[in-house]
């Protein structure tokens, strides 16, 4: 058994007591080398602890390399979270503190940990929050997520792995984005995942990454990816299906990005991808109520635009700084959320 | 009455079908290759999703697994998840689509982009309406614009068709389907220079046999030699593409060699083009075969899907007129804008079959898409006159008189026919004789004999004795012309005369 799995009952950091261990289901995201716990402070405040196991799996061919990569990944995430904390980013889940704990025998070992605010759940648990006020709630979440992305983008951080499980919902403070394990920092030495074509979860990846099209400009490549992921998240909140899976299901096999599929360039296959994505969007029209439909799909279309150079708000096309700015979308989501909230109140008052 | 295209060499200009039909034919594939993104091949993330689904068996994990399985094209792994989603009463349309995609059999090839949602059975004007409404929602979709152009072309809205295709070509200048469709359209409307310019902008021109073939054809229409002949010859020698992918390129190269008089090289390329041919390559080979290129067309080549033109030409050469007309009809359904199909159909129907109503139908269908085609209008006037629909025939002929039909022989012959039918036999005979003189002067034995056969038909109706006197002369002309269709018509007229005598 790994030391990181034996923290129950220990006191860590500035007086947090580990009171509960979270059982991870097979396949659940959150990393192979981390274990989640609930910790409690002396004043009764609860938080989430992520323990990173630095023990080398038995039989690993290169333990030194393994430890180096794990350490780099941990430091990378910790530094990003520290930066977000220093800049007081309200829509990002930041670490309350980090540190290390010596696990006593018989499972002795050194475990690094990060402590976060405790969320009520992720977007996967949206049914808990959204039964009675789905639209207002969904637009408010989109507003918060767009704000979170805007905040990190201003710090030259691209998230690259935005999906339901990485949007955390808090009682009272709304939603925040979390898990920066796949993020990319402009101007910093690239991490291992930066070299991958798809840094985040491939199920949600934007089309250009699936076809191996790499834009030379970091901002275009990385912020463009975040923009697509936001559009996909928005699409999924109303249709239950991520955008990538949906357009892939409308694509002819010969134009598929995988093995045995498309052998040409991205620019050549782009019209087929667009056609499939258009189909996905047109088919989904009925899923969104009429008062919000046009605005909703305009944003999905702009955010998920398959041509990377044209992704984003049309009025911002003249420079990457404006093109991938979230500000216009933050305003639009806010407006839609207000509209939906007003509609909800009116409906509640009507006999 | 004329086919209008007898002396124009056929070029291997791309067919322009719907995206669905083009995709089904295999024309829009590339050489499969391992993705640049090697991590796509890894199954680890799919296994994670599978494990999550097995643990949770809920809607979210089913959707995650289905999406991952579609991405890796391992749909069978997610079939239980797909069935689970399908069973949900409140599943959204997007969830149902995803489930259907996961549950489709691996051999099902079913392109289902937005453009494929347009009902192919719609009448062209309804189709235009449906496409325009989709364009309002998806203005950057090039296939909608090219489909709009195809619909406009099919009803003869020339300017709108060109405009729509221009938008499509601007939106997708590097897409094979769009570039080939634009080539066909601009050549069809007599703008091969625009077609050629679009082809030259295509980024993969040197490596894409389908577009290279179109470039060689467009250069030929422009009466230029393509600058890419050497590149094309290199490409067909490499083993990078399948014989099917190279079929049209081999056909284009064969045609260049054939027209340049190099029979041996031409034959070699034609044979390569017929290993695994497209219907267009087969039609090109049959055309060359009918024009003096000794070629063995394998019977299975004529059985490839949509080989209507090739079979029309084959049955025409074999003088099996029913089969020729049947295939010509299918050809016109397949390519409703094809002027050649309509002209050939209307010509065969009158000359070989004596079926004037069918000739009228071919001409009218052709004129719908090609309202400016004077040859089709001439054929319509002839078909109408032969059915004694004289007012309609005169109206069509008046259009010809206003615009002036380039072919003076045909024009005078049609004028003669109309005058005969209107009762002015003298003027009719004079016009026919003038047409015959013009044909004789231009050494066009076929037209000479055809005009003679027509005068014989009219004389037999009005003055049997004069017709009998004329018979040996016309018979001589027909035997010299050695044209099976004219011979057939002559035999039919002579048979009618003999029957009347009895």
What's the confidence (pLDDT) of residue B34?
A: 47
The residue with greater pLDDT, B2 or B453, is B453
Distance CA B137, CA B406 (A): 45
Short-list B329, B334, B369, CA closest to B349: B329
Q: Per the domain annotation, does B359 fall within a domain?
A: no
What would the pLDDT profile of B293-347 be if each residue is shown by its tens digit? Answer: 888 889 899 999 999 999 998 898 888 889 999 999 999 999 988 999 999 999 8
Q: Choose the closest CB to A275 out of B97, B115, B174.
A: B115
Question: B83-92, B295-304, B446-455 — which is least confidently predicted?
Answer: B446-455
Beta bridge partner(s), residue A100: A112
Q: What percent of chain B has pLDDT over 90?
A: 46
Take residue B318 and report the two structure tokens written for it: 């074999």
Question: Which residues, 6+ apart, have CB-to-CB distance to A191 below 8 Å?
Answer: A72, A73, A76, A184
pLDDT of residue B470: 81
Among the ranges given (B130-139, B360-369, B434-443), the one the predictor scored with the smallest mean pLDDT? B434-443
> Are A13 and A19 within 8 A, CB to CB?
no
Residue B27 located in a structural domain: no
Taking CA–CA distances from A201, the nearest residue in chain B reads B45
- Is B393:B365 a contact under the CB 8 Å cutoff? no
pLDDT in tens, B413-430: 888 888 888 888 888 888
CB B165 within 8 A of CB B146: yes
CB contact at 8 A, B153 and B181: no
CATH topology identical between A3-117 and A121-349? no
Out of B37, B60, B63, the one facing A198 most closely (by C-beta) is: B37
Q: Across the interface, which of A198, A264, A271 has its CB nearest the CB of B204?
A: A264
User: Is residue B321 assigned to a domain?
Assistant: no
Give the angle A285-A288-A291 at the CA atoms, nearest 5°. Answer: 110
pLDDT given for residue B105 in this prediction: 57
The DSSP H or E segment spanning A19 is: strand A16-21
Q: So what's the pLDDT on residue B332?
A: 93
The interface residues of chain A toward chain B in range 284-323, judged by CB-CB distance below 8 A, are: 284, 286-287
> What average pLDDT does this structure show over A226-235?
96
Q: Cα-flanking dihedrals φ and ψ of residue A117, to 5°?
A: -60, 150
How many Å lie between the alpha carbon of A260 and the closest alpha carbon of chain B?
5
Does residue B354 come out as left (phi exceeding 0), alpha (psi in the -120 to 50 range) or beta?
A: left
CA B393 – CA B421 distance, rounded (Å) = 10
**Selected residues 329-348 of chain A with any CB under 8 Å from a CB in chain B:** none
Instruction: Tell me the pTM.
Output: 0.86
CA–CA min distance A151, chain B (Å): 28
Which residues of chain B does A274 touch, with a Cβ-Cβ cutoff of 8 Å? 140-142
A42 touches chain B (CB under 8 A): no
Question: Residue A132 has what pLDDT?
Answer: 47
Place of tokens 């992520």: A50
Closest CA to B286 of B258, B260, B265: B258
Q: How many structural domains compose chain B?
A: 2
Closest CA to B418 of B446, B458, B450, B460: B458
Q: Give the span between the Cα atoms of A235 and A293, in whole angstroms.
A: 12
Average pLDDT over residues B26-46: 65
Q: Is A179 left (phi over 0), alpha (psi -120 to 50) or beta?
A: left
Cβ–Cβ < 8 Å for B82, A249: no
Residue A3 CB partners (closer than 8 Å, separation 6+): A53, A55, A103, A107, A108, A109, A110, A111
A66-79 pLDDT, tens digit each: 888 778 888 888 88
Q: Is the pLDDT of residue B6 over 60?
A: no
> Could you give the count of Cα atoms lying within 13 Å of A123 in the half-sphere of its Cβ?
27
Element (H, E) at B346: helix B339-351
Two tokens at A284? 């989904």
pLDDT (mean) for B125-132: 93
Can you tell me the distance from the alpha carbon of B164 to that of B160, in angstroms, rounded to the nearest whole number?
A: 6
Contact (CB<8Å) B113/A278: yes
Structure tokens at A297: 């799909």
The least confident of A77-86, B206-215, B360-369 is A77-86
Q: Where are the beta strands (DSSP E) in A231-309?
A: none
| Extents of the domains making up chain A | 3-117, 121-349
Q: DSSP string spanning B152-167?
A: HHHTT-HHHHHHHHHH
Beta-sheet strand order (sheet of A109-117):
A11-12, A16-21, A34-40, A46-53, A109-117, A95-103
Partners of B170 on chain A (C-beta within 8 Å) are none
Q: How far is A34 from chain B (nearest CA, A)?
A: 16
Query: A-chain residues within 8 Å CB-CB of B50?
Result: 27
- Closest CB to A249 among B26, B56, B70: B70
What is the mean pLDDT of the segment spanning B161-183?
96
In a domain, B183, yes or no: no
pLDDT tens track for A142-172: 999 999 999 999 999 999 999 998 999 888 8
Taking the CB of residue A118, how many other CB atoms lie within 10 A of it?
Answer: 17
Tell me which residue of B460, B470, B386 sits closest to B421, measured CA to CA.
Answer: B386
Mean pLDDT over B259-286 rounds to: 93
Residue A275 has pLDDT above 80, yes or no: yes
How does the average pLDDT of chain B come out, rounded? 87
Per-residue model confidence as pLDDT tens digits over A108-149: 778 888 898 888 888 877 665 655 457 888 999 999 999 999
Q: Which residue has the tokens 């109309």?
A: B418
Q: What percent of chain A has pLDDT over 90?
A: 35
- Confidence label for B223 from pLDDT (cuts 50, 70 and 90): very high
Q: How many helices and strands (H and E) does chain A possess?
A: 10, 11
Residues in chain B within 8 Å Cβ distance of A264? 30, 204, 208
Cα B33–Cα B34–Cα B39 angle in degrees, nearest 5: 155
Q: Which domain holds residue B431?
A: 407-502
CATH code: domain A3-117 is 3.30.200.20
CATH value of A121-349 in 1.10.510.10, 3.40.50.300, 1.10.3720.10, 3.40.50.10490: 1.10.510.10
Residue of A274, A295, A304 to mutate when probing chain B, most B C-beta within 10 A: A274
Q: What CA–CA distances, in Å, run from B411 to B415, B421, B461?
A: 6, 16, 21
Q: Extract the tokens encoding B337.
A: 């804008």
Domain end among B63, B91, B114: B114
Residue B12 CA to residue B282 CA, distance in Å, equals: 10
**3-state secondary structure string across B169-219:** HHHCCCCHHHHHHHHHHHHHCCCHHHHHHHHHHCCCCCCCHHHHHHHHHHH
pLDDT at B284: 94
pLDDT tens digits for range A169-209: 888 888 999 888 888 888 777 767 777 778 888 899 999 99
Res B107 pLDDT > 50: no
Do B37 and A255 make contact, defined as CB atoms within 8 angstroms?
no
Compare A320 and B134 and report the one with higher pLDDT. Answer: B134
Does B38 score more than 50 pLDDT?
no
**Closest chain A C-alpha to B120 CA, distance in angstroms:** 17
Return the minimum-mean-pLDDT range out of B117-126, B149-158, B203-212, B317-326.
Answer: B117-126
Q: What is the pLDDT of residues A290-315, one digit of tens each?
A: 889 999 999 999 999 999 999 999 88
CB A154 within 8 A of CB A160: no
Give the residue carrying structure tokens 């009762």. Answer: B423
Q: What backbone phi and psi angles, to 5 degrees, belong to A229? A: -65, -35
Whether B37 shows a pLDDT value over 80: the answer reads: no
Instruction: Give yes or no for a contact between B213 and B248, defined as CB atoms under 8 angstroms apart.
Output: yes
Helix (H) / strand (E) element for B47: namely helix B44-56
User: Is residue B18 within 8 Å of residue B150, measured between CB atoms?
Assistant: yes
Cα separation, A235 vs A241, whole angstroms: 7
* Gap between the Cα atoms of B468 and B462, Å rounded: 12
> Is B61 contained in some domain?
yes
Are A261 and B32 a contacting pair at CB < 8 A? yes
Task: Please give the residue that has the higher pLDDT: either B455 or A33.
Answer: B455
| Beta-carbon separation of A283 and B97 below 8 A | yes
Interface confidence (ipTM) of the complex: 0.87
CA atoms of A307 and A215, how far apart (whole Å)? 11
Residue B414 CA to residue B454 CA, distance in Å, equals 9
């Amino acid at each position: 058994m790994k030391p990181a799995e034996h923290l129950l009952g220990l006191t860590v950091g500035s007086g947090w007591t580990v009171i509960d261990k979270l059982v991870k289901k097979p396949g659940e995201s959150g990393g192979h080398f981390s274990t989640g716990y609930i910790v409690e402070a002396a004043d009764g405040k609860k938080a989430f602890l992520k323990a990173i196991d630095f023990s080398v799996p038995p039989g690993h061919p290169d333990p030194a390399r393994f430890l180096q990569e794990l350490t780099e990944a941990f430091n990378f995430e910790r530094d990003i979270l520290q930066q977000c904390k220093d800049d007081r980013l309200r829509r990002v889940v930041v670490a309350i503190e980090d540190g290390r704990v010596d696990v006593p025998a018989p499972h002795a070992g050194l475990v690094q940990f990060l402590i976060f605010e405790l969320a009520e759940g992720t977007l996967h648990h949206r049914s808990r929050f959204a039964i009675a006020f789905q639209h207002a709630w969904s637009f408010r979440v989109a507003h918060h997520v767009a704000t979170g992305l805007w905040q990190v983008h201003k710090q030259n951080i691209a998230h690259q792995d935005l999906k339901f499980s990485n949007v955390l919902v808090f009682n009272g403070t709304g939603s925040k984005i979390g898990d920066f394990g796949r993020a990319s920092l402009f101007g910093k030495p690239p991490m291992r995942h930066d070299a991958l074509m798809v840094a985040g979860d491939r199920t949600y990846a934007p089309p250009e990454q699936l076809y191996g099209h790499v834009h030379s400009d970091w901002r275009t490549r990385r912020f463009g990816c975040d923009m697509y992921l936001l559009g996909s998240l928005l699409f999924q909140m109303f249709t239950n299906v991520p955008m990538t899976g949906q357009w892939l299901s409308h694509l002819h096999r010969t134009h598929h990005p995988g093995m045995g599929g498309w052998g040409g360039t991205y620019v050549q296959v782009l019209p087929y991808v667009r056609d499939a994505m258009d189909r996905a969007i047109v088919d989904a029209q009925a899923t969104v109520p009429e008062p919000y439909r046009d605005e909703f799909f305009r944003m999905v279309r702009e955010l998920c635009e398959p041509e990377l150079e044209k992704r984003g708000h049309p009025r911002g096309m003249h420079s990457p700084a404006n093109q991938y700015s979230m500000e216009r979308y933050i305003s639009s989501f806010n407006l839609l959320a207000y509209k939906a909230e007003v509609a909800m109140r009116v409906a509640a008052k009507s006999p | 009455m004329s086919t209008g295209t007898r002396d124009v060499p056929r070029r291997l200009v791309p067919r322009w079908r719907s995206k669905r039909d083009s995709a089904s034919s295999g024309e829009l594939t590339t050489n499969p290759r391992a993705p640049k993104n090697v991590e796509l091949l890894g199954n680890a993330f799919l296994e994670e999703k599978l494990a999550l689904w097995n643990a949770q068996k809920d809607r979210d994990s089913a959707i995650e697994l289905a999406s991952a399985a579609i991405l890796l094209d391992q749909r069978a792994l997610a079939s239980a998840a797909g069935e689970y989603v399908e069973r949900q009463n409140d599943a959204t349309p997007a969830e149902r689509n995803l489930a259907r995609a996961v549950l489709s059999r691996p051999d099902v090839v079913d392109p289902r982009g937005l453009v494929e949602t347009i009902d192919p059975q719609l009448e062209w004007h309804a189709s235009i309406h449906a496409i325009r409404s989709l364009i309002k929602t998806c203005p950057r979709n090039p296939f909608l614009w090219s489909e709009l152009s195809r619909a406009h072309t099919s009803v003869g809205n020339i300017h709108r068709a060109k405009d729509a295709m221009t938008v499509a070509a601007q939106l997708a200048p590097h897409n094979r389907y769009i570039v080939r469709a634009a080539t066909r359209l601009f050549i069809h409307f007599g703008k091969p220079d625009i077609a050629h310019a679009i082809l030259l902008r295509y980024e993969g021109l040197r490596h894409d046999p389908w577009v290279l073939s179109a470039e060689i054809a467009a250069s030929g229409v422009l009466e230029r030699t393509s600058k890419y002949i050497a590149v094309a010859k290199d490409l067909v020698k490499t083993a990078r593409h399948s014989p099917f992918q190279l079929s049209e390129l081999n056909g284009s190269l064969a045609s260049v060699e054939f027209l340049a008089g190099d029979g041996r090289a031409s034959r070699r390329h034609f044979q390569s083009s017929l290993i695994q041919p497209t219907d267009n390559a087969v039609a090109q080979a049959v055309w060359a075969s009918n024009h003096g290129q000794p070629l063995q067309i394998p019977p299975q080549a004529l059985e490839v899907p949509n080989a209507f033109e090739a079979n029309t030409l084959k049955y025409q050469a074999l003088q099996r007129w029913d089969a020729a007309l049947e295939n010509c009809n299918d050809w016109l359904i397949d390519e409703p804008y094809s002027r050649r199909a309509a002209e050939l159909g209307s010509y065969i129907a009158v000359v070989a079959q004596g079926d004037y109503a069918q000739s009228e139908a071919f001409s009218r269908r052709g004129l719908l898409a090609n309202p400016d085609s004077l040859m089709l209008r001439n054929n319509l006037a002839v078909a109408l006159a032969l059915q004694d629909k004289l007012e309609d025939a005169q109206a069509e002929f008046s259009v010809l008189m206003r615009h002036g039909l380039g072919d003076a022989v045909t024009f005078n012959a049609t004028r003669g026919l109309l005058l005969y039918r209107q009762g002015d036999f003298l003027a009719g005979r004079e016009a026919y004789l003038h047409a015959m003189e013009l044909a004789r002067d231009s050494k066009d034995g076929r037209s000479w004999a055809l005009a003679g056969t027509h005068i014989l038909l009219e004389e037999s109706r009005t003055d049997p004795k004069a017709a009998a006197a004329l018979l040996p002369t016309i018979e001589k002309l027909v035997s010299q012309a050695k044209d099976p269709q004219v011979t057939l018509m002559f035999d039919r007229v002579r048979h009618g005369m003999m029957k009347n005598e009895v």
